[in-house]
Amino acid sequence: MTSTGSKKNQNQNSWKGLLIWILIALLLRWQAVEPRWIPSGSMIPTLQIQDRILIEKITPRINQKLDKHLNLNTIVVFKPPKILIEAGYSDGSALIKRIVGLPGDKIKVSNGKLYRNDKEINEPWIKESIQYEMDEIKVPDFSLWVLGDNRNNSLDSHVWGPLPEKNLIGTALARYWPIRKIGPIRFP
């Protein structure tokens, strides 16, 4: 074989390898991990406007198949519920909030505090008391109650109601931008 033929085989192998890696990356992004950015202040102070995060997409799908729920306080990314689509939100948009109620939980807001099943919830990530009242609701089956960490400036379940679990896209995993805040998403 000539050196020209050998180089041609090397180039073909390089392209095949690159194509395989591109396909793996696309498959991972489509099925497992996806980058997102924070467009609003509804999750301040935990997440700031323009933060870049990675979301994990496998757990919500597995939980739905196993009839399990995500944990309370998990930060989730989801498709807007039907009521927001009817109000003008794009079906392709995504929102981010924190789970504060699971199916069967009784949730209310009174005197600036969140209550779950008649117990006041300690939320160290909240920086100011809630400036609205919310009568007690029972979270329906196959739904979650989600609120933004910036409670007084968040369009969330207290406005539009329960979030169907089928709308979940993924859970917030880690922040990768800004660099000084790189790491797992926990608390502010």
Cβ contacts of residue 154 below 8 Å, gap of 6+?
42, 43, 97, 147, 148
The answer to whether 98 and 148 are in contact (CB under 8 A) is yes
The number of distinct structural domains making up the chain is 2
For this structure, is 97 an active site residue?
A: yes
**pLDDT tens track, the chain, 188 positions:** 555 566 656 666 667 766 666 665 555 555 678 888 898 999 999 999 999 999 999 888 787 777 788 999 999 999 999 999 999 999 888 999 999 999 999 999 999 999 999 999 999 989 899 999 999 999 999 999 999 999 999 999 999 999 999 999 999 999 999 999 888 886 54
- Verify that 73 and 142 share a domain, yes or no: yes
- Verify that 156 and 80 share a domain, yes or no: yes
- Verify that 44 and 123 share a domain, yes or no: yes
- Bridge-partner residues for 48, per DSSP? none
- Verify that 84 and 171 share a domain, yes or no: yes
- Verify that 123 and 177 share a domain, yes or no: yes
- Verify that 85 and 138 share a domain, yes or no: yes
Residue tagged active-site, from 3, 7, 14, 42: 42
- Verify that 82 and 12 share a domain, yes or no: no
pLDDT value, residue 61: 77
pLDDT value, residue 52: 94
pLDDT value, residue 67: 78
Cβ contacts of residue 46 below 8 Å, gap of 6+?
75, 98, 125, 149, 185, 187, 188
For 98-110, what is each residue's pLDDT tens digit?
A: 999 999 999 999 9
Residue tagged active-site, from 79, 97, 143, 157: 97
pLDDT value, residue 96: 96
- Verify that 38 and 21 share a domain, yes or no: no
Whole-number Å distance between alpha carbons of 96 and 101: 15
- Verify that 73 and 145 share a domain, yes or no: yes
- Verify that 55 and 27 share a domain, yes or no: no
Range of the structural domain that residue 2 is part of: 1-31
Residue with tokens 């993924």: 170
For this structure, is 143 an active site residue?
A: no
CATH, residue 145: 2.10.109.10
